[in-house]
Amino acid sequence: MPDVIVIGSGLGGLSAAVSLAARGLKVTVLEAAPTLGGKANIVTLDGVECDTGPSVLTLPDTLDAVLQEAGTRLADEVTLLTPSPAFRYVTARGETLDLMPTLPETLAHVHERLGAEAARELEGFMADAAEIWALSKIAFVYGPAPSVRSLWELGPAKMAGFGRVDPFRSMWSAICNKVKHPLLRMILARYATYNGSDPRAAPATLNCIAHVEIGLGGYGVRGGVYSLVRAFVRVAERLGVSFRASSPVESVIVEGGRAVGVTLRGGEALRAGSVVCNADVAHLHEHLLPKAQRRVVEAPETPSMSGWTGLVRARRRVGADARAAHTVLFPEEYLDEFADIFDRDRPPQSPTVYCCAQEPCHGRPGWADHEPVFIMTNAPPEPKSGARPAEVYAALRDRALGRLRAAGLIDPDDAVVWERPPSGLAAAYPGSRGALYGASSNSLFAAFKRPANRVRGLPGLYLASGSAHPGGGMPLCVLSGRMAARHVLEDLGVLTPGAP
pLDDT in tens, 172-226: 999 999 999 999 999 999 999 999 999 999 999 999 999 999 999 999 999 999 9
Residue type, 380: P
Mean pLDDT of the chain: 95
pLDDT in tens, 325-341: 999 999 999 999 999 99
Please report the pLDDT score of residue 454 as a whole number: 97
> Phi, psi (5° rounding) for residue 208?
-65, -20
Please report the pLDDT score of residue 163 as a whole number: 76
* Span 231-249, average pLDDT: 98
Smallest Cα–Cα separation from 74: which of 88, 86, 57? 57
Considering the domain boundaries, does residue 49 fall inside one? no
pLDDT in tens, 131-168: 999 999 988 999 989 887 776 666 666 666 677 899 99
Considering the domain boundaries, does residue 14 fall inside one? yes
318 and 424 inside one domain: yes
Instruction: Tell which of 381, 410, 428 closes a domain.
Output: 428
* 394: containing domain: 304-428
Does the pLDDT of residue 99 top 70, yes or no? yes
Q: How far apart are CA 90 and CA 15, in angstroms?
A: 36
> Phi, psi (5° rounding) for residue 229?
-60, -50
Please report the pLDDT score of residue 298 as a whole number: 86
Alpha helices of 388-473 — where are they, by DSSP H?
390-406, 422-428, 446-449
123 and 202 inside one domain: yes
CATH of the domain at 469: 3.50.50.60
pLDDT in tens, 21-64: 999 999 999 999 999 999 999 999 999 999 999 999 999 999 99
Centre a 10 Å sphere on the Cβ of residue 170 and count the other Cβ atoms it contains.
22
Q: How far apart are CA 153 and CA 150, in angstroms?
A: 5
Helix 116-137, helix 103-114: angle, nearest 10: 150
Poorest-confidence range of 172-186, 241-255, 298-312? Answer: 298-312
Considering the domain boundaries, does residue 176 fall inside one? yes
Check if the beta carbon of residue 17 is closer than 8 Å to that of residue 241: yes
288 and 327 inside one domain: no
Does the pLDDT of residue 111 top 80, yes or no? yes
Does the pLDDT of residue 91 top 90, yes or no? yes
DSSP 345: -
415 and 462 inside one domain: no
* Span 91-100, average pLDDT: 96
283 and 191 inside one domain: no
68 and 110 inside one domain: no
Considering the domain boundaries, does residue 95 fall inside one? no
117 and 67 inside one domain: no
Check if the beta carbon of residue 5 is closer than 8 Å to that of residue 270: yes
Check if the beta carbon of residue 167 is closer than 8 Å to that of residue 242: no
Please report the pLDDT score of residue 157 as a whole number: 64
249 and 193 inside one domain: no
Instruction: Tell which of 428, 452, 480 closes a domain.
Output: 428
User: Could you tell me which residues come within 8 angstroms of residue 48 by beta carbon, excluding any fewer than 6 positions away?
Assistant: 364, 365, 366, 367, 372
Instruction: Tell which of 411, 428, 445 closes a domain.
Output: 428
Domain count, the chain: 3
Please report the pLDDT score of residue 88 as a whole number: 98
Poorest-confidence range of 227-231, 354-358, 371-375, 385-389? Answer: 385-389
477 and 374 inside one domain: no
CATH of the domain at 120: 1.10.405
Please report the pLDDT score of residue 495 as a whole number: 87
274 and 366 inside one domain: no
Q: How far apart are CA 57 and CA 390, in angstroms?
A: 31
Check if the beta carbon of residue 396 is closer than 8 Å to that of residue 308: yes
In 239-352, DSSP assigns E strands to 242-244, 249-255, 258-264, 269-271, 274-277, 306-315, 326-329
* Span 312-337, average pLDDT: 96
Does the pLDDT of residue 106 top 90, yes or no? yes
273 and 331 inside one domain: no
Query: For the chain, first and last CA: distance in Å?
Result: 29
Q: How confident is the model at residue 375 (pLDDT cuts 50, 70, 90)?
A: very high
Considering the domain boundaries, does residue 84 fall inside one? no
Considering the domain boundaries, does residue 50 fall inside one? no
Considering the domain boundaries, does residue 451 fall inside one? yes
Q: How far apart are CA 431 and CA 438, in angstroms?
A: 10
388 and 476 inside one domain: no
Considering the domain boundaries, does residue 83 fall inside one? no
Residue predicted with more confidence, 139 or 9: 9
